[in-house]
């Protein structure tokens, strides 16, 4: 197995601190009192508008986690027969909201591969439903009975984080129940959690290599997506990390994940990419690639769900 040296230029102590802050933000309750759909949408719209006005990339990342949290609440508190039509949410918020819904779908159905799609299809906007499955992968990684999950469960018993009791499935059989494209999305979400569960990019990639039920490229892309979001205050160092991967296949997938993360932020908070100020021109290429991709998505009217780029700068 190939080893990866000095991939992550950000000190590990700083990264762990940011991971803890992110995890706390994702888990914190954001709504008190009424959790009706309209109230949730009003709150989400206000968060999105406030973050769009801010030039601080880290504030945008925090807003993203909060919006994903509230997206889960949309499904948790949905009334029987209600749906999320295209007109309910601003198009900018739809991808992250549906990503959150995937979390709630697993909470409601457990890891029942037949029930999860039924819940998603009954409530989600069909155009953005694929985003739900990415978070199904994140939940699959979260509930794996390892040290990370035991730690989270201890926090839950102390009342620090919410955690639903769910039986863990056989991951091979679980993924095999879904079409190939859904397996890709699940693999991406799994990779997103692998970054939180490992000390570095290198160890996260090594963990992914040991999980044959995942699509490796999509999983590495998910690792990169989470890496950029967590470390958005050190964007130049984040973009430097992609140049340190000596394996072409993994390097391509990792760069694709960074580009898509930038694209995701731009879709959610229009004007983000134009506001970025980088001192080194070498790091402009991923931003330019993200700008090209976002133009393509806007011309089609919807953001592609965690698209894996085959040709990256």
Whether the pTM exceeds 0.75: the reply is yes
Render pLDDT for 290-312 as a digit per residue (tens, 0 to 9). Answer: 999 999 999 988 899 999 887 77
- Arithmetic mean of pLDDT, 248-259: 87
Average pLDDT rounded to a whole number, residues 157-181 = 90
Split at pLDDT 50, 70, 90, the class of 26 is low
Instruction: Tell me what pLDDT residue 14 has.
Output: 62
pLDDT at 138 over 50: yes
Mean pLDDT of the chain: 85
Confidence at 161, pLDDT banded by 50, 70, 90: confident
pLDDT above 50: residue 4: no
Q: How far apart are CA 238 and CA 227, in angstroms?
A: 8
Identify the burial level of 76 via C-beta atoms within 10 angstroms of its C-beta, where 0-12 means exposed, 13-18 middle and 19 or more buried.
middle
Full 3-state SS string of the chain: CCCCCCCCCCCHHHHHHHHHHHHHHHHCCCCCCCCCHHHHHHHHHHHHHHHHHCCCHHHHHHHHHHHHHHHHHHHHCCCCCCCCCCCCCCCCCHHHHHHHHHHHHHHHHCCCCCHHHHHHHHHCCCCCCHHHHHHHHHHHHHCCCCHHHHHHHHHHHCCCCCCCCCCCCCHHHHHHCCCHHHHHHHHHHHHHHHHHHCCCHHHHHHHHHCCCCCCHHHHHHHHHHHHHHHCHHHHHHHHHHHHHCCCHHHHHHHHHHHHHHHHHHHHHCCCHHHHCCCCCHHHHHHHHHHHHHHHHHHHHCCCCCCCCCCCCC
């Amino acid at each position: 197995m190939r080893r990866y040296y000095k991939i992550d230029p950000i000190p590990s102590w700083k990264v762990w601190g940011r991971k803890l802050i992110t995890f706390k933000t994702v888990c914190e309750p954001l709504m008190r009192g009424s959790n009706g759909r309209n109230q949730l949408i009003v709150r989400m719209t206000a968060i999105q508008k406030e973050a769009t006005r801010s030039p601080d990339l880290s504030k945008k990342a925090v807003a993203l986690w909060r919006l994903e949290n509230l997206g889960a609440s949309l499904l948790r508190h949905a009334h029987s027969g209600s749906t999320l039509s295209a007109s309910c949410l601003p198009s900018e918020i739809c991808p992250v909201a549906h990503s959150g819904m995937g979390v709630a779908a697993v909470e409601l159905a457990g890891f029942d591969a037949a029930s999860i799609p039924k819940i998603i299809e009954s409530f989600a906007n069909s155009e953005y439903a694929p985003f739900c499955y990415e978070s199904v992968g994140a939940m699959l990684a979260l509930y794996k009975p390892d040290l990370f999950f035991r730690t989270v469960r201890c926090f839950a018993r102390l009342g620090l984080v919410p955690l639903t009791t769910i039986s863990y499935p056989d991951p091979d059989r679980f993924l095999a129940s879904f079409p190939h494209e859904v397996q890709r999305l699940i693999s991406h979400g799994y990779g997103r959690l692998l970054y939180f569960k490992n000390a570095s990019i290198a160890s996260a990639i090594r963990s992914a290599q040991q999980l044959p039920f995942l699509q490796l490229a999509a999983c590495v892309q998910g690792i990169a997506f989470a890496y950029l979001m967590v470390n958005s205050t050190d964007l130049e160092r984040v973009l430097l990390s992609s140049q340190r991967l000596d394996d072409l296949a993994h390097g391509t997938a990792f760069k694709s994940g960074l580009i898509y993360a930038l694209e995701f932020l731009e879709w959610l908070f229009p004007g983000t990419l134009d506001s970025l100020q980088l001192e080194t021109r070498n790091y402009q290429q991923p931003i330019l690639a993200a700008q090209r991709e976002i133009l393509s998505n806007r011309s089609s009217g919807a953001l592609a769900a965690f698209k894996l780029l085959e040709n990256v700068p």
